Amino acid sequence: MKNFPSSISRMIDAFASLPGIGEKTATRLVFHLVRSPENLARELGEAATSLKKDLRLCACCRNIATSEQCEICEDAERDASQICVVEEALDVLAFEKAGAWKGSYHVLHGVLNPLEGIGPESLTIVDLLRRVERGGVAEIILAMNPSVEGEATASYITKQLQPFQIKITRIARGLPTGSELSYADEVTLAAAMKGRRDF
């Protein structure tokens, strides 16, 4: 086997284009498919082909949806006056799984990153401003990741929202539950100390 059959190397390339999957893992996965019954590869193929057919972005919060608005924006029991701004649709999922939020969301689909050419126009910031302009928004929670890009994006959005005079908050930084203080990095410890609250 000096060269792979072309159908195998094509599948290896497809897997290896996914994040976190290198050529070695991709090869293992493909040989697993080759060894497995026919329908496993076919199911994967059909699922991938039809993945994006019914998907669109919610007209309101830009989350992934199957109709004009996503389930959360359509849900009358959710508090539309509070908007939690997140980087990715996956972050919405994390909050929903935790049951930690009963307001609405806004999905940016990325963070500002000038080095990679991602400016405000690549994100859904303009949609967020339009939501605020329409009125009825009391609080914006900036829930971007605690990274350099996340902080920069939070600062940018805060500046854009200044004319509206609404409450703007940032999710808390500190020690994750169940962690050990002695293993925490300095930036986390400093943030935990700075954010201390009455007990």
Distances (CA, A) of 195 to 43, 168, 170, 189, 192: 49, 16, 12, 10, 5
Query: Nearer to a second copy by C-beta: 47 or 181?
Result: 47
Length of the chain in terms of residues written: 199
- Token couple for 65: 């949806």
Report the DSSP beta bridge partners of residue 142.
Answer: 85, 170
Does 23 engage in binding with a second copy (CB under 8 A)? Answer: no
> Binding string to a second copy for residues 63 to 82, with x set by CB under 8 A, is what?
xxxx---xxx----------
Of 142, 135, 124, 134, nearest to 64 by C-alpha is 124
Does 102 engage in binding with a second copy (CB under 8 A)? Answer: no
Does 137 engage in binding with a second copy (CB under 8 A)? Answer: no
| Minimum gap (Å) between residue 120 Cβ and a second copy | 18
The residues binding a second copy (CB under 8 A) are: 1-3, 5-8, 10-11, 13-15, 17-21, 25, 27-35, 38, 40-55, 63-66, 70-72, 88-90, 92-93, 96, 109
